[in-house]
Amino acid sequence: MEPLKTSLVSEEQTSTEIDDRHYSLQAKQEDIQKRTFTSWVNSQLEKHPSPSLILDLYSDIGKGHVLLDLLEVLSGQQLSREKGSNTFQRRSNIENALTFLKNRSLKLINIHVADIIEGKPSIVLGLIWIIILHFHIEELAKALSCGYSHSSLDSPSTVDLSPAMSPTARTNVKAKDRWKISAKKAVLLWAKEQ
């Protein structure tokens, strides 16, 4: 019986060590994402007419006006906002930002105003990723789509816009007839060619 107890204790220790390692790696990944997204947000906020700098992604995005400033820079539109920084004004500004994103057909699943105000890491990181995906990667996809044929992305071809096609012929294809690729496919194609 003694070897059985030793075996069970050993398995429990191994399981605990694996869990600890998992949580440690998860925390490192979250920290890297936070630093990366903070840097990206700051690089965008520098372009705002009233440049600002964030130090803590979670709490600063929860202030509301920072999120509106970011969306103004990315969209080129002025967004309505409440002046001040009390809870009501923060809530209103975040609601305005989320409404703006929803009106642009962004899917904001399980992203709620209260979670952003609280600075919940998974929610704030998810929101920033959605914004990056929409405003930067989608634009990259559109730019890349002009230079590649459908077949290079394993999708049905309706219009050939291959690199071998002459620039004049490519220009003559109506914009609405040009093929579209998803942002993810464009990034994968770009990464594949690097």
What CATH number did the domain enclosing 122 receive? 1.10.418.10
pLDDT at residue 63 greater than cutoff 90: yes
Average pLDDT over residues 86-97: 95
Q: What is the pLDDT of residue 71?
A: 96
Residue 190 maps to a domain: no
Number of domains in the chain: 1
Position 174 in a domain = no
Q: Is residue 84 part of a domain?
A: yes
Give 94-160 as a DSSP string. Answer: HHHHHHHHHHTT---TT--HHHHHHT-HHHHHHHHHHHHIIIIIHHHHHHHHTTS-GGGGTS--SS-
Residue 38 lies in a domain: yes
Q: pLDDT tens across 130-163, in order? A: 999 888 777 777 676 666 544 444 443 344 444 5
Q: Angle at Cα 108 formed by Cα 102 and Cα 109, nearest 5°?
A: 140
Mean pLDDT (whole number) for 110-133:
95
Tell me whether residue 41 is exposed, middle or buried, using C-beta atoms within 10 angstroms of its C-beta: 0 to 12, 13 to 18, 19 or more. Answer: buried
Which tokens sit at 190?
A: 């770009």
Evaluate if residue 3 carries a pLDDT over 80. no
Domain housing 70: 17-147
118 with 64: CB under 8 angstroms? no
- pTM listed for this prediction: 0.67
Asked if the structure places residue 182 within a domain, the reply is no
Q: In this predicted structure, what is the pLDDT of residue 165?
A: 52
Which of 61-65, 103-107, 123-127 has the weakest average pLDDT?
Answer: 103-107
Residue range 155-186, pLDDT digits in tens: 433 444 445 555 444 444 443 344 455 666 66
The answer to whether 45 and 70 have CB atoms below 8 angstroms apart is yes
From residue 115, give the alpha-carbon distance in Å to each of 3, 45, 72, 97, 189: 49, 22, 22, 14, 35
Q: Rounded to an integer, what distance in angstroms lies between the CA atom of residue 173 and that of residue 151?
A: 17
Q: Which of 10-14, 32-36, 85-89, 101-105 has the lowest mean pLDDT?
A: 10-14
In a domain, 109, yes or no: yes
